[in-house]
Amino acid sequence: MKGSSLRMVFSFGICLVVLVPACEGGEEEASPKPTPTPSPVVAEFSPTPEPTATPSHPVEEAYELAPALDWATFDRMLGFSTIPGSEGEAVLVTQGGMIWRGSVEGDSSPTIFGDMSDRLIKSPGNEEGLLGLAFSPDFSVDGRVYLYYAAGDPRRSVLSRFQVVDGAIDPESEHVLLEVPQPFGNHNGGQLAFGPDGYLYVAVGDGGSAGDPQGNAQNLSTLLGSILRLDVSGEGYVAPADNPFVAMADARPEIYAYGLRNPWRFSFDRASGELWAADVGQDRWEEVNHIVPGGNYGWNVMEGLECFLSPDCDKSGLQMPRAVYGHDTGCSVTGGYVYRGASMPELNGWYVYGDFCSGRIWATNTADDSLPVLLAETGQPIASFGELADGKVVTLTFANAVYRLQRKQ
């Protein structure tokens, strides 16, 4: 979905370091470690430093993926979510339309949570299918679940609400909330998540083809190339009154941020509420962005930190990416989560993300402009990440397996 030694270039603390859901067309060199200096003779009562139990900062290539969820061996898994009110269980979304339910401990056989295959576009492109799922913040009361999928005749992205009955989605309960026409079969986005404000956020790609030929991502009159913010508490949806473009003529009031090519996975930091997203690049750069209301993230004026359409583009007013990496390092970025687990405290507050093609996983500090750290070389086709109730991070792959990120054993 979406070799050679790494070499990343950094600029003002941003890693110039891209999901096949939109690929068309190095890692920072480690600083030499200081040679330990022999300790001088100390007085008899000088204290001896206590050994550090855990590192205070992520250590380069000190992490690995460990098998998790033995039951999760399905083709093209790209969505994971624990079930509100039943955090010991999770659902796995597959691109082909099947949604499976099982234990997060991996100690049970999965059951079918939903089957959307009959709603999906026939003969889909590589980036179409069932792409996103989100549970209502009041799921234990209202039983609502939201899905985002690619449909055909005409080609379009569909956001729908369903009702869960007896532990599974009732297929007859679909209520279509929004349909976005798609001119091409790629760059569909698809991530859904409720923010801490209770509103539903939706990632929509630029409409596809190469180079955004219709200029959608810079056009506020279309929903393409944007992250949307919707109030879905009623029967349909409305744009919240404090959305950034509500009062702007000819702008779609649903838009929260724009100038995105194919935002493949975003998430909210459970501690700060900040929104972080990965945006898949064209043929040179992949990027990670801190999303702010009204932000313009530059596509297709820019790709990464470089001008795209012309060498002397006007960058004023554009939000620069927090981290980027080149196609000598990967080819399709996959967004993850700000780590807030207890088992690896040195990662607390670091945004974890990966690359579909290379299998590399990095982390960038959300608190400052320090350089990203390469956590692991996994060799896995990383399609998505998931977050457990305790803040631990799992990794979904197109190798029909789910893994847990941990320190090397």
Q: What is the pLDDT of residue 54?
A: 73
> Structure tokens of 273?
């509420």
Q: What is the pLDDT of residue 3?
A: 38
> Structure tokens of 96?
């082909």
CATH of the domain at 133: 2.120.10.30
Q: Which residues contact 136 (CB under 8 A, 6 or more apart)?
A: 84, 142, 143, 144, 145, 146, 194
Looking at residues 302-331, what average pLDDT do you find? 96
With cut-offs at 50, 70 and 90, classify the pLDDT of residue 78: very high
- Say what percent of the chain tops pLDDT 90: 84
Q: What is the pLDDT of residue 370?
A: 87
Closest-CA residue to 392 (of 319, 343, 323): 343
pTM of the model: 0.88
Q: What is the pLDDT of residue 55?
A: 83
* Cα 366 to chain centroid, rounded: 15
Kindly calculate the radius of gyration of the chain based on its CA atoms and give it in whole angstroms.
22
Cα–Cα distance measured from residue 234 to residue 246, given in angstroms and rounded to the nearest whole number: 19
Number of domains in the chain: 1
Range with the poorest average pLDDT among 155-164, 330-339, 365-374? 365-374
**Is 3 part of a structural domain of the chain?**
no
Choice between 20 and 256, residue whose per-residue pLDDT is larger? 256
Q: What is the pLDDT of residue 53?
A: 58
Cα–Cα distance measured from residue 304 to residue 322, given in angstroms and rounded to the nearest whole number: 10
Would the pLDDT of 2 be above 80? no
Closest-CA residue to 340 (of 399, 272, 261, 254): 272
Q: Omega before 300 cis (within 30°)?
A: yes
**Is 40 part of a structural domain of the chain?**
no
**Mean pLDDT, the chain, whole residue set:** 89
With cut-offs at 50, 70 and 90, classify the pLDDT of residue 322: very high
**Is 4 part of a structural domain of the chain?**
no
Q: Which residues contact 379 (CB under 8 A, 6 or more apart)?
A: 359
With cut-offs at 50, 70 and 90, classify the pLDDT of residue 351: very high
Burial class (CB in 10 A: 0-12, 13-18, 19+), 48: exposed
Would the pLDDT of 348 be above 90? yes
Residues spanned by the domain of 281:
9-24+54-407
Q: Which string of DSSP letters, residue by residue, matches 331-357? A: S-EEEEEE---SS-GGGTTEEEEEETT
**Is 34 part of a structural domain of the chain?**
no
**Is 37 part of a structural domain of the chain?**
no
Q: Which residues contact 381 (CB under 8 A, 6 or more apart)?
A: 1, 356, 357, 359, 397, 398, 399
Cα–Cα distance measured from residue 230 to residue 240, given in angstroms and rounded to the nearest whole number: 6
Q: Model confidence over 148-188: pLDDT tens digits?
A: 999 999 999 999 999 999 999 999 999 999 999 999 999 99
**Is 304 part of a structural domain of the chain?**
yes
**Is 130 part of a structural domain of the chain?**
yes
Would the pLDDT of 139 be above 60? yes
Q: Model confidence over 6-47: pLDDT tens digits?
A: 333 333 333 333 334 444 443 333 333 333 333 333 333 334
**Is 229 part of a structural domain of the chain?**
yes
Q: What is the pLDDT of residue 106?
A: 75
